[in-house]
Structure 1
Amino acid sequence: MNRILKIYNSLQGLPMGKRLFSYLTCKSAPYFGSIKPLFVELAPGRCVIFMKKRKSLTNHIKTVHAIAMCNLVELAGGICTDVSLPEGVRWIPKGMTVEYLALAKTDLTGVCNIDLELLKNWDFSRDFPASTEVYDTSGAVVMRGTINIHLSRKKS
């Protein structure tokens, strides 16, 4: 089992286990701490992260800033990819495309789903797309983003 997934699963029985996992993730990759993510669900092929709308994440029109949402997309897509990879495969993000679909006026949830069969059979000749949708509290998609991920075999 993937190291990140082992840590996540081991903390789920503890009070505030999801918060502790989220904190540890941000200690490992400090920039993501700016959005104060809360991992809600993590499994191979799926990652769900909650992000509270806070003043520090808003822009001049009092909506969640696009770059804060990009952080959510990158975190969900990257972690979902990491826990979904077959043994012996590594990854690095190469780029990201995003679509701003609506103003983000509420708390947000980023959801990344990866087709495990597709990932398992990926041919490494092109980047793997890890797509994340960002939802507001009404369930509307406010952003859609795709992380283009370079996959390669780990060196032995």
Structure 2
Amino acid sequence: MSENNRLARLVKKIESLPGFLQKPALNFALRRTVKLVGTAKVEVLMLTKAHSEFRLKNRTKVQNHIGTIHAAGMALIAETATGMVVGMNVPDDKVPVIKTLKVDFLKRAKGDLVAKAHLTEQQVNSILTLEKGEVEVAVSVTDEEGKEPINCQMIWAWTPKRS
């Protein structure tokens, strides 16, 4: 079956590169496509049709006044992880859009953040078969201590592209 998704085709093509080039090539492509991801230097650790993992390093450019990752950066990494895993599945004739981005701030983050998102087989099937719809994408964001400084609700929708 030929791939009907631009992002999944790109990831597959990058996976054919030598191992040491794969992550830099994927980071370059994603950062160039989503400008804020590039500005913040969000880093892809893993991206498949069911799972994604992204890291945001605690660098000066993304810090708040207390030296931790800014609230907007925390939301960005969760939105990126969920959006990319949805984006791996949405057919090229549809467009993914975030419908709900709810972030509860639970504690001060320590160091770098890692966001992990995943879709169930049923959610992937819905994205592939329904003309339009929405999914709540499970995501966890952890800091260097392994604690979750934020709790998120991310609902992504997909609709047919307008002509």
Structure 2-normalised TM-score? 0.81
Q: Distance in 2 between matches of 1:65 and 1:84?
A: 30
Change (3 A) 1:86 1:42: same
Gaps of 5+ in 1: none
Any conservation in 2 of the 1:86–1:120 contact (CA below 8 Å)? no
* Alpha-carbon distance, 1:3 to partner: 2.3
User: What secondary structure, in the 3-state scheme, does the structure 2 residue paired with 1:127 have?
Assistant: strand
Matched, 1:5 2:8: yes
Any conservation in 1 of the 2:99–2:156 contact (CA below 8 Å)? yes
Identity rate, percent: 20
Gaps of 5+ in 2: none
Partner amino acid, structure 2, of 1:30: K
In the TM superposition, structure 1's runs of 4+ consecutive aligned residues that sit over 4 Å from their partners are 86-89, 122-126, 153-156
Instruction: Specify which of 37, 42, 45 is matched with residue 40 of structure 1.
Output: 45
Any conservation in 1 of the 2:8–2:89 contact (CA below 8 Å)? no
Instruction: Specify which of 130, 142, 151 is matched with residue 144 of structure 1.
Output: 151
Structure 1-normalised TM-score? 0.84
RMSD: 2.4
Q: Distance in 1 between matches of 2:121 and 2:161?
A: 19
Q: Distance in 2 between matches of 1:56 and 1:151?
A: 32
Output aligned runs, 1:1-156, within 5 Å: 1=3, 2-12=5-15, 13-14=17-18, 15-85=20-90, 89-121=94-126, 127-153=134-160
User: What secondary structure, in the 3-state scheme, does the structure 1 residue paired with 2:149 have?
Assistant: strand
Any conservation in 1 of the 2:132–2:159 contact (CA below 8 Å)? no
